[in-house]
Structure 1
Amino acid sequence: MAYRPSKKFKKTLFGSGAVVVLAALNAPAAVSFVGEKYHAYKIAQPGYKKRFGSWAPVEVPAGYSVNAIHAALLHTGKVLLIAGSGNDQKKFDSGTFDTILWDPKRNTFKKIPTPEDFFCSGHTQLADGRLLVAGGTARYEILDGEVKRAGGGMRVKNESPDKPITLKKGTVFRSPSGVEYVSKFDVTVPKAKRDFEVSYFKSGQMKPWKTKVTAAEARVFVEARKEGAQALTTQAAQYEIVGLKGADADNVYGLAQRLTTEKQDFQGIRGAYEFDPRAEKYIPVAPMKDARWYPTLVTLQDGKVLAVSGLNDVGDVVPGDNEIYDPKTKKWSKGPFRYFPTYPALFLTKGGKLLYTGSNAGYGPAEKGREPGLWDLKKNAFTKLGGLTDPDQLETSASLMLPPVQDQKVMVLGGGGVGESPKSTARTSIIDLSEETPAFRNGPALPQGTRYLSSVLMPDDTVFTTGGSEQYRGAGGSDILKAQFYDPGANAFAAAADPTVGRNYHSEALLLPDGRVATFGSDPLYGNQANTKLGSFEQRIEIFTPPALHRAGTDRPALGEGPQELDQNGRVTFRTKDAATITKARLMRPSAVTHTTDVEQRSVALGLTKTKDSVTVEVPLDRTLVPPGWYMLFVTDKDGISSEAKWVQVGGR
């Protein structure tokens, strides 16, 4: 006879089984919970912090959180966080533009009135300590399938040599077939150029005066007044400007070839401003000739600024028309012509040439302007540099001049394929520009393929790297919660404490005057690993404290009284009780960073002379090594523990 369990036994068995099943189901969560608790305990231990450093969140008061697209350290010690519209079209449409000034020492926040949309502008440090901000957003993109009205660039011609003409936003251009298009912005067309040929006698006859007029031209984006296929055109045509009369109607007209419903990219602005750290406000200066969105601004050895690339006022990559800003006149002039994709990484090198590492933030064809090289601005000559592994994965890569700048070594870290490519690389490469024939050589690999990596020069001559993601804009939950130090001397990475906040597109990191590193921003496409939930902008601020500062506690070398300006020999002296323990000094140029692009930061090795109660540092006089501006002066002891910074101005008054 077969055995059958009793009802009582069945109940007991079912109850026990339920407990077993529930325990099994909850085991991963329980293990995860225990693991998280242990990890939190481990990283809080003093021994761990002394070896790997630590992270801590910044308490941001309600109403002061911001979509930090740009971050710049000012010589007042405060950090300018620029959002503009912050990649939020609703804010753009409402004209709500944000800038926050954060004082990391007091942890205070201040809202700064923001006159234009500086979202995706360029910026650089000026010699007097102001921050030049140029470009930004005139119009948000409209994706394929969402464009309802045909649009594109209209070239506006003016054949009158007597006067320029301004056409206001809303000006109507009419095609030969009667289709009407409306301009989306104001546009001013200069007057035409008049050339004369001087009369002279030839074979006893007077040759008459001749006048040649060359029409002036400007661009403006136009959009069809009505939806429908009748507004689509790929044929070149001349367009009448409705409302013009008399000579103006004869002299001023439009020319367009492609007006379509294809994707319409972001469009840039010409606006330029200096942010005054003392007055804590934006001050307008002369606008650029070309509108720019995603431009790079780089300070040159004479204190002037070169503006390169960007999307223009019709959404095309500026074809190579670069501009130079003079801080003395507050005006722009024509620069050397060369094409680059947007946000190209350009570094001032010894002798005055610019190194283009190939790092960029996108926009532009894959086969144009992406090869690294040295650019001689005076001759406008470009020498390509080879040896780079994964040269097709330089978009969203990081680049920086390794410390100290006198060594003239530059490093490229990570990156991905063009556009929304799934490719990413763990490659790092280093080039030594002091070699007779410089070429890139592979450095140690990153832990995994990484885009949007933040890289920060430290006072002890290491490079701190953090964050990034493996996929485009952190898709697939691919944010990398890892950090490490690169040691140029050992040519190796060493682990650092893991950040708790993921950072990908639109994220930044910079060195603070107290020797810590602050991180901001991140703009993921998706909010989950399955890519089914839209992402949201990361507004938390997190600060990394390096291991050396944990080892030091309150016993750090300190600089006392001293001037903020160098003497005629490039020297400056500070009182200090720690002279005996100080082993080296560095000038650190403050960052102005966006889209993984920071061409400002550089670390300069200084001559060091000590007495019992003072140190004198000597700054190189070569302005291609030390461009004019304000710098942080750090001194470091034999254990790699740095002081807090003193601010010193180099040239440029």
Structure 2
Amino acid sequence: MAQRPSRPTARKTLLGVAAAVTLAALNAPAVAGFAQDAYHRYEINQPEYKAKYGHWALASLPEKYQLNSIHAILLHTGKVLLIAGSGNNVKLFEGGAFKSTLWDPSTDTFKKIDTPNDMFCAGHAQLPDGKVLIAGGTARYEVLKGDVKRAGGAMLVKNENPDRAHTFPKGTVFRAPSGVEYRSQFSVRVPAAKKVPTGQGGNVKVTASEARVFVEAADKGPLGMTNTTEQYAIQGLKGEDADNLYGIANKLGLDKKDFQGIKDAYEFDPVTEKYTRVGSMREARWYPTLTTLSDGRVLAVSGLDDIGQVVPGKNEVYDPRTQTWSPAPTRYFPTYPSFFLTGRRKIFYSGSNAGYGPAGKGRKPGLWDLRSNTFTPIGGLKDPDILETSSSVLLPPAQDKKVMVLGGGGVGESPAATSRTAIVDLDAEHPAFTAGPRLPKSIRYLNSVILPDDTVFTTGGSRGYRGKGASDILKSQIYDPHKNTFAPAADPTVGRNYHSEALLLPDGRVAVFGSDPLFADRADSRAGRFEQRVEVFSPPYLHRGDRPDLAPGGRTDVEHGGEVVLRTADPARISRVRLIRPGSATHVTDFDQRSVALDITRRGNGTLTARVPNDAALVPPGRYMAVAVDTRGVPSRAVWIHASG
């Protein structure tokens, strides 16, 4: 891989700065360092440097709009929805202070958005009408073992009444035979018991229904601990209800309590700029993946449930027409698995994930057929046990069906990291990973963003878990799938690791958000601070002269297989048009981004037509950015298109 020289030669030298560097080097190292920094600042702002490596700049985010960006979603209005929820801040969680900010990159203006629930570590996906689905989030923060004051765990609430369901509010008291009391931490609804005919004289067999809820002992200390299965009376019930409804628990202890998810789901409307609550999921989820399917429905998988365990393969599908959820094929995955829609009801799982789950379960890459619920593993990947917090991207154009995996770390807080990249061709007769070019350093938390010129921009990351040991890597590079090589890009000035994300903007720039380091120094002796600055990268193509113009030439709503008319002053200048799905990113995973090549016909009257592929699995219904790229690789600003299916 070609390496960027530390000091590329400029055509003109700033003589005063060069003289200062020489003088300072002879007299005072501190002064020399200052002068070298001044020269570097001069050098990276030269046109020749920008045209080769691009350029970074900080967005002007006013203090009152600052937040811990956990999720970043590009909307079809061109604005970016930044969601923090409680932002990994337990004090904000306990105070109910949940945050979202709307950023308009074209005007660099901001707006606070009322946030109805803690969407911290939710899942999200673009919907066919341009709204965004956000599902899951935080019901409870983790509590480390030494800090757990009350015994707690899962309580199964049983109902033997076949004629009536029952809902218990948060705070319902369950009493053990010994008299120890436990309180539910959430409300719970228990369905009516099931009646099953026995076939003998019209008799029926009644099977108790059950629902699960997390409970904690009313009193602090070890007296609430139990390792035996017991039946618990529900306080406040009388008569038959007291007989038919009761709790069962196997273990209630002072063990570490993991994060717990919620079932709530919302749609965000980019036009009204408001959240609207929709039907709740069947399972609580924290760290779930949401994937838009070819029919516009959304698949939800994995996440931590309402007792802090990885959802055991109970997946579900959201229908935006009815705003309700229904069961999906059962299959287990670790949290935030990286999914790519590759066919009608077919999903490729790259093996990249964000962390929770055992090392030996659900981590092998493969193709998942939702119709038959079969999973075909795909091999050939070097360092398959170092996939956690790796980056995955569907290489452009999406028609090639090639997915790249970049970097990654070991499971949990493992110090292992890798510079490995690998590529799989899903169109091959027998798909298998093959080695790609190495990254400059072993790295995890790398963000990867598809650019309009069919390259992939990668940036940030760290060598250590959550940046431990001051291991953030201030490097960026651009991968060319055609050449299968990386080229160096300008160095960012802000380190990024855990809880970071990056998005392509409609004007061709890339915005990078967040970072949540554990520590703030090399010795890991000072607590880290969440990075709230937003840094924006202007790729080299934005520093190579004028850009091609592009505007709608008529209707922007197009069916699969249909054509859209675009206006441009010089159609002959345009070499290609790409349809780019707006990103929705969190935890270095982008749930939506893909770039689709369009067949174009140039017209002599200042127009061209672009045909959308007749394949809803390649172009899931929704809003897209149409971008024209000229013969120099310079993109136009985006025109928004609606692929309506």
Fold conserved (TM > 0.5)?
yes
Matches within 5 A, 1:308-457: 308-457=301-450
Q: Is the 8 A contact 2:547 2:636 kept in 1?
A: no
Structure 2 residue identity aligned to 1:143? L
2:140 corresponds to: 139
Structure 2 residue identity aligned to 1:237? E
Q: Is the 8 A contact 1:563 1:574 kept in 2?
A: no
Q: Is the 8 A contact 1:140 1:267 kept in 2?
A: yes
Aligned partner of residue 91 in structure 2, secondary structure:
helix
Task: Please list the CA deviations of residues 97-137 of structure 1 after superposition, one character each: whole Å capped at 9, or x if unmatched.
Answer: 00111111111111111110000000000000000000000
Report the Cα distance in structure 2 between the residues aligned to 1:247 and 1:458, rounded to whole angstroms: 65
Aligned partner of residue 606 in structure 1, secondary structure:
strand
- Structure 1 position 192 matched with structure 2 position 184: no
2:637 corresponds to: 644
Report the Cα distance in structure 2 between the residues aligned to 1:52 and 1:271, rounded to whole angstroms: 44
1:565 corresponds to: 557
Q: Is the 8 A contact 2:421 2:439 kept in 1?
A: yes
Q: Is the 8 A contact 1:630 1:648 kept in 2?
A: yes
Report the Cα distance in structure 1 between the residues aligned to 2:432 and 2:87, rounded to whole angstroms: 38
2:155 corresponds to: 154
Structure 1 residue identity aligned to 2:288? P
The two structures have a TM-score, normalised by structure 1, of: 0.93
RMSD of the alignment, in Å?
Answer: 1.5
Name stretches of at least 5 consecutive residues in structure 2 with no aligned partner.
1-23
Structure 2 residue identity aligned to 1:541? V
Q: Residues 568, 447 of structure 1: CA spacing in aligned structure 2 closer, same or farther, 3 A cutoff?
A: closer
Report the Cα distance in structure 1 between the residues aligned to 2:448 and 2:56, rounded to whole angstroms: 16
The two structures have a TM-score, normalised by structure 2, of: 0.94
Q: Is the 8 A contact 2:174 2:182 kept in 1?
A: yes
Q: Is the 8 A contact 2:125 2:292 kept in 1?
A: yes
Identical residues among aligned pairs (%): 61
Q: Is the 8 A contact 2:553 2:607 kept in 1?
A: no
1:114 corresponds to: 115
Matches within 5 A, 1:170-319: 170-198=171-199, 207-319=200-312
Give the deviation of 1:567 after TM superposition. 5.5
Report the Cα distance in structure 1 between the residues aligned to 2:561 and 2:578, rounded to whole angstroms: 17
Structure 1 residue identity aligned to 2:231? Q
- Structure 1 position 482 matched with structure 2 position 464: no
Report the Cα distance in structure 2 between the residues aligned to 1:111 and 1:611, rounded to whole angstroms: 45
Aligned partner of residue 551 in structure 2, secondary structure:
coil
Structure 1 residue identity aligned to 2:163? D
Give the deviation of 1:568 after TM superposition. 7.0
Aligned partner of residue 145 in structure 1, secondary structure:
helix
Report the Cα distance in structure 2 between the residues aligned to 1:251 and 1:532, rounded to whole angstroms: 55
1:590 corresponds to: 582
2:165 corresponds to: 164
Give the deviation of 1:575 after TM superposition. 1.8
Give the deviation of 1:25 after TM superposition. 13
- Structure 1 position 472 matched with structure 2 position 473: no
1:618 corresponds to: 611
Q: Is the 8 A contact 2:559 2:644 kept in 1?
A: no
Report the Cα distance in structure 1 between the residues aligned to 2:258 and 2:467, rounded to whole angstroms: 22
Structure 1 residue identity aligned to 2:120? F
Give the deviation of 1:26 after TM superposition. 9.5
Bigger mean CA deviation after superposition, 253-262 or 641-650:
253-262
- Structure 1 position 462 matched with structure 2 position 448: no
Matches within 5 A, 1:56-135: 56-135=57-136
Which one has the largest radius of gyration?
1
Q: Residues 105, 24 of structure 1: CA spacing in aligned structure 2 closer, same or farther, 3 A cutoff?
A: closer
Report the Cα distance in structure 2 between the residues aligned to 1:568 and 1:177, rounded to whole angstroms: 66
Task: Please list the CA deviations of residues 379-405 of structure 1 after superposition, one character each: whole Å capped at 9, or x if unmatched.
Answer: 000111111111111110111100011
- Structure 1 position 599 matched with structure 2 position 591: yes
Name stretches of at least 5 consecutive residues in structure 1 with no aligned partner.
1-22, 199-206
Q: Is the 8 A contact 2:550 2:639 kept in 1?
A: no
1:549 corresponds to: 542
Task: Please list the CA deviations of residues 159-214 of structure 1 after superposition, one character each: whole Å capped at 9, or x if unmatched.
Answer: 1111111111111111222221111111111111112245xxxxxxxx41121122
Aligned partner of residue 476 in structure 1, secondary structure:
coil
* Number of residue pairs the alignment of both structures matches: 621
Q: Is the 8 A contact 2:66 2:532 kept in 1?
A: yes
Partner residue of 1:502 out of 492, 495, 506: 495
- Structure 1 position 29 matched with structure 2 position 22: no
Give the deviation of 1:473 after TM superposition. 0.6
Task: Please list the CA deviations of residues 215-254 of structure 1 after superposition, one character each: whole Å capped at 9, or x if unmatched.
Answer: 2111111111122322212222211112211111111111
- Structure 1 position 540 matched with structure 2 position 567: no
Aligned partner of residue 215 in structure 2, secondary structure:
strand
Give the deviation of 1:617 after TM superposition. 0.3
Q: Is the 8 A contact 2:581 2:593 kept in 1?
A: yes
- Structure 1 position 513 matched with structure 2 position 506: yes
Report the Cα distance in structure 2 between the residues aligned to 1:78 and 1:351, rounded to whole angstroms: 30
Report the Cα distance in structure 1 between the residues aligned to 2:31 and 2:428, rounded to whole angstroms: 57
Give the deviation of 1:441 after TM superposition. 0.9
Aligned partner of residue 82 in structure 1, secondary structure:
strand
Bigger mean CA deviation after superposition, 293-302 or 24-33:
24-33
2:601 corresponds to: 609
Report the Cα distance in structure 2 between the residues aligned to 1:181 and 1:166, rounded to whole angstroms: 17
1:629 corresponds to: 622
Q: Is the 8 A contact 2:153 2:214 kept in 1?
A: yes
Structure 2 residue identity aligned to 1:54? H
Report the Cα distance in structure 2 between the residues aligned to 1:326 and 1:399, rounded to whole angstroms: 27
Q: Is the 8 A contact 2:102 2:110 kept in 1?
A: yes
Aligned partner of residue 253 in structure 1, secondary structure:
strand
Give the deviation of 1:557 after TM superposition. 3.7
Report the Cα distance in structure 2 between the residues aligned to 1:451 and 1:44, rounded to whole angstroms: 29
Report the Cα distance in structure 2 between the residues aligned to 1:265 and 1:603, rounded to whole angstroms: 37
Aligned partner of residue 52 in structure 2, secondary structure:
helix
2:7 corresponds to: none
Aligned partner of residue 325 in structure 1, secondary structure:
strand
Report the Cα distance in structure 1 between the residues aligned to 2:625 and 2:184, rounded to whole angstroms: 47
Bigger mean CA deviation after superposition, 220-229 or 318-327:
220-229
Q: Residues 133, 53 of structure 1: CA spacing in aligned structure 2 closer, same or farther, 3 A cutoff?
A: same
